[in-house]
Amino acid sequence: MVTWQSEADVVVVGAGATGVPAAIAAREAGLSVILVEAQPHMGGHAITSGGNVPLGGGTSAQKKYGIEDSPDLVFQDLTDWSVVQPNGFPDYRYNDREIVRAFADNNVATYDWLLAHGVTFADKAPDERGGISVGNSVPREMHAVPLDWPLAHTGAPVDPAQRATYSIGAGLMHPLNEAARRAGVNILLEHKMTALHRETPTSGRVTGIEVDHHGTRLSIGARKAVILGTGGSAGNVNFRRMFDPRLTEEYCGLAGMPWSDQDASGEIAAMAIGAALWGLYNQTGEFGYVLTKAGRIGCRYGYQHLDWRPGSKVFDKAVASGLPISDWQNAIMVNMLGQRFYDETGRAFTSNNYNSIKPYLPGSYLNAKNITYNPNNFLNAALAGIGDGHNGGGPIWAIFDAEAVARQKWVAEPPFVDIDNGFFFSADTLAALADKIRMQYQRVPMPPANLEATVARYNSFVDLGDDQDFGKPAPLHKIAKPPFYAAWATPVLHDTRAGLRINAKCEVIDMSGAVIPGLYCGGETAGGFSQHGLARCVCQGLIAARNAAAATG
């Protein structure tokens, strides 16, 4: 018999884009709610996001700008087997139809609910900006604006001229966090869930959770339901390698960290009481933002859209902002052996969005037949390993010189780069630079002769105007003027698109296909849905809460 230290009708785990809406909706249904969050702050990954919310189906915003949409069209788009990316991977083919149907049918209500709870969207027509696998037929992307709220990555509001137009997750989560407080949600920060309680280990209703609070173990009872919104699994090395064995320890730069993690805690706790996983292909499929090219180099957290600044609450953990890079003519990429493997200007994984297929014929084989096939599967040469018997490719380093620093107007010193933790090195010669590269993920020393030979060969391609190894378009700049630099440029993990099996009510399903009574889940902790972003998180949080409130027993 468990002794509960506290108890509520509904216990919600995770204060992000799934958990906070779920907590508010449960309170508004008349239930008492405890919301537990592992971090010392609310917002989850969502508050660090771009604030892009793809909700369609005929929202008032779409109607205002003459965009015709419907729940049926949303469903059709997000289950279209024929949509294929240039590398051959399909966006929607492995989506669970029941889950997508529930999402499609709740888009309009979710949009209206967000407006009613203080979220402000940019006053413009829905568009495709920031959309990842959100459907090709019509534009649906809305953009939450921050107004006067501070940003997680800077600690300060944006410039007043941009506060009504700048799309950012702070514009979504700050109003919802305040709405949760006003609704009377009991919020427990720095309470990390470690286990779920069930009437028996693998049968009966879920009755509560176990948490760790600064080393103290607490049991929190749930009279009606536990709702999991723990944010996914991309940050858990062992868990993510079930989907892709290549993603070993060196892929340490999770987008959204260090504000929040994706530690698979919800999935692991639910699996321990019998829950099944679902939609696993969507995690392995090489499309969208499951893995992103580093947009900031010389720091651990190199996600292109997060510029961590000293004013952030978590800058002591982020340590460095990184050097922003978009023009890869200013650097080459080498693996840990000092060898190039890739056209550095090559794009990351692509995904489907409004107007990305022209002409688009729903459900037609021509959508796949008529794509321009491009087998460039984004850094697979490195991910596949470098011949040392290890599954991962090892660190990837951006190599450049003093001239590149001048061209890019970079400041190659802290707090822009992380020297102390081994994510940035410099030296007066290439041989000395290679010899300096020592850090926890560099499994073997970089042979100085390799780096010297690699740079010399690349420089010869600049003279030729032709990259004879990897086809980089007209290499422009030699790497010749000291000092020389090596900056961490290993890909960044982002989306979790596989997770616990749920049904249309967001009830968690076990390995025999039966509902686990009293356990709900949504967002990136749930599987069966390939869509990137915030809409599925918010929508499923609301679905879960409303069904938990309506459940009997």
**Structure confidence by residue, pLDDT tens digits, 412-436:** 999 999 999 999 999 999 999 999 9
Mean pLDDT (the chain, rounded): 96
Question: The tokens 């969502």 sit on which residue?
Answer: 46
Please tell me the predicted confidence (pLDDT) of residue 273: 98
Closest Cα partner for 175 from 43, 14, 59?
43
d(CA 547, CA 505): 6
Phi/psi for 376 (5° steps) reads -65, 100
DSSP collapsed to 3 states, 268-303: HHHHHCCECEECCHHHHCCCCCCEECCCEECCCCCC
* pLDDT surpassing 90 at residue 387: no
- Contact of 477 with 489, CB cutoff 8 Å: no
Q: Domain segments of the chain: what residues? A: 6-232+257-285+494-541, 295-342+379-491
The C-alpha angle with vertex 78 and arms to 74 and 80, in degrees rounded to 5, equals 115
pLDDT digits (tens, 9 = 90+) for 303-338: 988 999 999 999 999 999 999 999 999 999 999 999
| CB contact burial 160-184 (16+ within 10 A = b; e otherwise) | eeebeebbbbbbbbbbbbebbeeee
Report which of 226, 265, 229 is spatially closest to residue 45, judged by C-alpha positions. 229
Encode burial over 516-535: b for 16+ CB neighbours within 10 A, e otherwise: bbbbbbbbbbbbbbbbbbbb
pLDDT for residue 377 is more than 70: no
162-166, 321-325, 386-390: lowest mean pLDDT where?
Answer: 386-390
Is it the case that residue 449 has pLDDT exceeding 90? yes
User: Could you tell me the maximum CA-CA distance found in the chain, to the nearest angstrom?
Assistant: 76
Note the pLDDT tens digit of each residue in 397-409. Answer: 999 999 999 999 9
C-beta of residue 219 within 8 angstroms of C-beta of residue 3: yes
Q: Any idea which architecture 295-342+379-491 has in CATH? A: Alpha-Beta Complex (3.90)
Q: Is the pLDDT of residue 553 over 70?
A: no
Structure confidence by residue, pLDDT tens digits, 34-80: 999 999 999 999 999 999 999 999 999 999 999 999 999 999 999 99
Half-sphere exposure of 546 (CA within 13 A, CB side): 14
Decide if pLDDT at 376 tops 70: no
Most confident of 336-345, 387-396, 513-522: 513-522
Does domain 6-232+257-285+494-541 correspond to CATH entry 3.50.50.60? Answer: yes
What Cα–Cα distance (Å) separates residue 517 from each residue in 32, 183, 462? 19, 26, 64
Determine phi and psi for 300, rounding to 5 degrees: -70, -45
DSSP string, 343-396: -TT--------TTSSSS--TT-THHHHTS------SSHHHHT--SSS-SS----
Q: Residue 338 corresponds to which tokens in the numbers above? A: 């000092």
Read off the pLDDT of each residue in 385-389 and give the average, rounded to a whole number.
81
Say what the pLDDT of residue 381 is. 73
Beta carbons within 10 angstroms of residue 64's beta carbon: 12
